[in-house]
Structure 1
């Protein structure tokens, strides 16, 4: 029973977090990031300012917090260990992008696009985005588990992850500039191939 209660609480927490973030992104887009306050977000979401701060400790988090890192890590952890590391990471990046922007995902695709525009156009968010990139790099290395247990292997994994994430960032900026009209998984694959060669997004 305690497990069921914990699962229910976690689900409700996630739903509240998503609702608050959706209102925040809408307000930032309509009024501007700098002129929208945390209190404005709380009022729009129908919750107290304390609730907003509990889910999002900083204003930047309202834009930057997401579950993409967990999705990427899950796919890397499930990928065959005998595949080259950059193919495992690159494949995960392409697969997650396809899952978030594919057919039937119009709302998620638009939400991602609006967040990207905010990150690109807002100086405070661009600076904070670097912290998120580091956290995602560490999530990727963590997904490798014992494979990256020794320092030398972990260093190689961090380097591979950083290079893949740089390609991802370049693709995301291009996608945002295209107003989401281009195919994001294809852009990511193209960026990865520009760095690593044609085989990086090949099939096993």
Structure 2
């Protein structure tokens, strides 16, 4: 059974998605989300530092870093990162595709959130870069590979969110396939 904190967080996310669909992201305030969820605005900000963080965030960075470190250092940086991400994806529980698609669709349709998503990937890029450097890749090459991988994934995820024709895992694999096939 989920803790009170987890239930509150889940309720805030669900209410936020409802309001974003009804009023649009820019037309919805943190106060409105909190009120509909039956909590104070202060409680909202205890769970989410910003309204954008409801939609943008990646709890998988540690798994990604470990999975990249586990790849052969004989691989080129992009292939190593791609294989690590594929491995990490297989280790993680499959997220609820409908919810993920809804969240990403809002991001795809809101210019300010697209920018926030890009800046939000900086932490994941740093994890990928560090993992590649730990495996012997030069800092500059590692940073370029990390940036390329994250750009491909972000594009694939946003495109996936606007369609209905494939599963999330397939969108991720397609992005990684494009990188590896073009690079190697």
Structure 2 counterpart of 1:189, from 161, 173, 176: 173
SS in 2 for 1:52: helix
Cα deviation, 1:158-178, whole Å, max 9, x if unaligned, reads 111111112212321331232
Q: How does 1:94-113 map to 2 (within 5 A)?
A: 94-97=86-89, 102=94, 105=95, 108-113=96-101
- Tell me by how many angstroms 1:14 deviates: 5.2
Cα deviation, 1:133-186, whole Å, max 9, x if unaligned, reads 2222012223457436xxx7222111111111122123213312322x213333
Give the match for residue 165 of structure 1: 150
Per mean C-alpha deviation after superposition, the further-off stretch among 32-41 and 181-190 is 181-190
> What's the C-alpha RMSD, in Å, of the aligned pairs?
3.0
**Is contact 2:64–2:85 with CA below 8 Å preserved after alignment?**
yes
- Tell me by how many angstroms 1:60 deviates: 1.3
Q: Which runs of 5+ in 1 are unaligned?
A: 1-10
Give the match for residue 54 of structure 2: 62
Name the TM-score, length of structure 2 as normaliser.
Answer: 0.79
Greater share of residues in helix:
1
**Whole-Å separation in 2 of the counterparts to 1:19 and 1:74:** 31
Relative to structure 1, the CA distance from residue 167 to residue 46 in structure 2 (aligned partners, 3 Å threshold; closer, same or farther) is same
Cα deviation, 1:1-20, whole Å, max 9, x if unaligned, reads xxxxxxxxxx7655543442
**Whole-Å separation in 1 of the counterparts to 2:128 and 2:66:** 9
Name the TM-score, length of structure 1 as normaliser.
Answer: 0.72
* 1:128 correspondence with 2:128: no
**Is contact 2:12–2:37 with CA below 8 Å preserved after alignment?**
yes
Cα deviation, 1:15-36, whole Å, max 9, x if unaligned, reads 5434422322232123321221
Relative to structure 1, the CA distance from residue 19 to residue 174 in structure 2 (aligned partners, 3 Å threshold; closer, same or farther) is same
**Is contact 1:119–1:125 with CA below 8 Å preserved after alignment?**
yes
